[in-house]
């Protein structure tokens, strides 16, 4: 009987070799690609793995910090970027990213400090001065921001970023109420004026205003008092500014005078401002005064910012059921302190009215001028002092003195 034979042995099974781990450089390149491709969570996971392989790696901390900032995870972003800056204080890209993170998270003081470190490392980089200029402007440090803008231009900077900073540094169309210095959200004012009309007792007017500012604009509540012709009258108003599309904003106002002795029973205003670029700005407006005979005041203006100067020419048409008038005003404002708070201003104006009931042949002409000085004595307290004179054909000269006290917080 033949010997039993054993079955052949099965072939040996060889385990597959483990996939080779990508090199650190390849893994880092993939993490950056994920971040730039709009896959932040996958990028963070890749950066986490890289830090496990190389704890404290500055490039990885920088990359992860940038992704955290894009996700608005400010605490995590600051932790990573601060760690990178501590490990490599001469790494300019870290300070650039840190400044951007602070700017995005509305911390302009810290952003300006980070950009200052960046400028120390890259003194000939115009983009660094533009970035710091934006942060300084957000703090209300306009003079310093303007110096950074000029330095950037001297280094050859141009384009949208420079134009945007230049526009932001321009005071808005003669309307200080439209914006407020960074860091403040409320402002109040108390104003009073006295007018010598030549014949009869002097007129006087007072206004109290409280205004709240937001990123979208501002809204004020005002109470007004007037004493003229031996009578008193009172009114209240809501006055708002609203940001619209790029370079545009609007002023809307409603005023109510219940007694309607001196103030109109109802009054409204709408004005639209539009930046035209290169320092030019235009506006159109309509004021409606609800007297016994309705009055509309249609206005159009063109303005130019040049250096520390603001120049505006404004034309108005005043229309009622029984008369028509026109007026022109030239305004020059000098921001001599280099910020948006302190300035000197002068105006010249002329007007003409056609009224069939007039005692001077149905036509009258008027003219005048004013000077004003506004100064903030501290960051929170300011004053305004102004004087004006006007003259109309067949009437006495009118002289006015006005003062205001400002407070912001």
For 97-128, the pLDDT digits (tens) are 999 999 999 899 999 999 999 999 999 999 99
Q: At what angle do helices 74-87 and 92-104 cross, to 10 degrees?
A: 160
pLDDT at 79 over 60: yes
Q: Average pLDDT for residues 15-36, to the nearest whole number?
A: 78
CA-CA distance, 154 to 201, in Å (whole number)? 58
What residues does CATH 1.25.40.10 cover in the chain?
24-168
pLDDT digits (tens, 9 = 90+) for 80-98: 999 999 999 999 999 999 9
The third-level CATH classification (topology) of the domain covering 24-168 is 1.25.40
- Who contacts 259 (Cβ-Cβ below 8 Å, separation ≥6)? 233, 234
How confident is the model at residue 12, as a pLDDT?
A: 56
Q: Taking Cα atoms as reference points, which of 173, 177, 179, 175 lies closest to residue 302? A: 173
| Confidence band of 185 (pLDDT split at 50, 70, 90) | confident
Stronger pLDDT, 35 or 269, i.e. the higher one: 269
Per CATH, which fold does 176-408 belong to? Porin (2.40.160)
Locate CATH 2.40.160.10 in the chain: 176-408
Residue 307 has pLDDT above 80, yes or no: no
pLDDT beyond 50 at 50: yes
Task: Lowest mean pLDDT of 19-33, 130-144, 166-180, 206-220, name the range.
Answer: 166-180
User: Which residues, 6+ apart, have CB-to-CB distance to 5 below 8 Å?
Assistant: none
Question: Going by C-beta distance under 8 Å and a sequence separation of 6 or more, which residues neighbour residue 321?
Answer: 293, 294
d(CA 189, CA 175) in angstroms, rounded, equals 14
The DSSP bridge partners found for residue 386 are: 372, 402
CA 42 to CA 34: how far, in whole Å? 7
Alpha carbon distance 38, 30 (integer Å): 13
How much is the average pLDDT of 140-160? 82
Residue 328, helix vs strand vs coil: strand
Q: What span, in angstroms and rounded, lies between the C-alpha atoms of 166 and 155?
A: 15
Res. 136 pLDDT band, cuts 50 70 90: confident
Enumerate residues 6+ apart whose C-beta is below 8 A from 391.
Answer: 366, 367, 368, 397, 398
Q: Is the pLDDT of residue 264 over 70?
A: yes
The pLDDT, as a whole number, for residue 358 is: 41
Kindly tell me the sign of the dihedral angle through the C-alpha atoms of 229, 199, 190, 340: positive
Of 224-233, 271-280, 301-310, the range with the highest mean pLDDT is 224-233
Q: pTM for the full model?
A: 0.64
What percent of the chain clears pLDDT 70, i.e. is strictly above it? 87
What are the pLDDT digits (tens) for 354-385?
Answer: 654 443 445 678 889 999 999 999 989 999 99
Ranking 207-216, 222-231, 250-259, 300-309 by mean pLDDT, the lowest is 300-309
Q: What are the b/e assignments for 10-25, b being 16+ CB within 10 Å?
A: eeeeeeeeeeeeeeee
For residue 302, what pLDDT is reported?
94
Burial class (CB in 10 A: 0-12, 13-18, 19+), 163: middle
pLDDT tier at 256, thresholds 50, 70, 90: very high
Query: So what's the pLDDT on residue 245?
Result: 81
Checking if the pLDDT of 6 tops 60, the result is: no
């Amino acid at each position: 009987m033949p010997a039993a034979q054993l079955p052949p042995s099965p072939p040996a099974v060889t385990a597959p070799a483990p996939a080779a781990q990508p090199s650190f450089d390849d893994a880092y390149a993939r993490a950056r690609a994920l971040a730039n491709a709009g896959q932040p969570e996958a990028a963070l996971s890749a950066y986490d793995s890289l830090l496990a392989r190389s704890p404290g790696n500055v490039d990885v901390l920088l990359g992860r910090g940038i992704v955290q900032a894009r996700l608005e995870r400010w605490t995590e972003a600051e932790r990573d970027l601060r760690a990178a800056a501590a490990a490599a204080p001469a790494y300019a890209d870290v300070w650039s990213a840190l400044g951007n993170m602070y700017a995005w998270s509305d911390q302009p003081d810290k952003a300006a400090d980070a950009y200052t470190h960046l400028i120390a490392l890259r003194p000939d980089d115009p983009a660094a001065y533009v970035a710091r200029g934006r942060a300084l402007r957000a703090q209300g440090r306009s003079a310093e921001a303007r110096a950074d803008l000029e330095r950037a231009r001297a280094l050859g900077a141009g384009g949208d970023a420079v134009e945007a900073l230049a526009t932001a540094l321009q005071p808005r169309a003669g309307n200080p109420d439209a914006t407020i210095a960074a860091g403040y959200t409320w402002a109040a004012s108390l104003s009073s004026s006295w007018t010598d009309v030549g014949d009869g007792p002097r007129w006087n007017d007072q206004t109290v205003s409280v205004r709240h500012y937001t990123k979208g604009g501002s809204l004020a509540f005002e109470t007004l008092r007037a004493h003229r012709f031996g009578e008193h009258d009172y009114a209240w108003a809501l006055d708002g500014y609203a940001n619209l599309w790029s370079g545009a904003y609007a002023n809307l106002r409603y005023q109510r005078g219940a007694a309607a002795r001196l103030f109109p029973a109802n009054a409204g205003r709408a004005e639209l401002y539009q930046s035209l670029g290169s320092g030019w700005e235009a506006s159109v407006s309509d004021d409606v005064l609800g007297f016994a005979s309705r009055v509309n005041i249609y206005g159009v203006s063109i303005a130019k910012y040049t250096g520390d100067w603001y120049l505006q020419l404004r034309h108005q048409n005043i229309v009622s059921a029984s008369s028509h008038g026109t007026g022109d005003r030239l305004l020059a404002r000098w921001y001599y302190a280099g910020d948006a708070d302190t300035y000197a201003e002068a105006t010249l104006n002329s007007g003409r009215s056609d009224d069939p009931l007039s005692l001077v042949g149905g036509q009258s002409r008027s003219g005048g001028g004013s000077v004003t000085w506004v100064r903030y004595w501290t960051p929170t307290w300011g004053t305004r002092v102004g004087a004006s004179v006007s003259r109309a054909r067949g009437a006495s000269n009118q002289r006015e003195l006005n003062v205001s006290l400002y407070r912001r917080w």
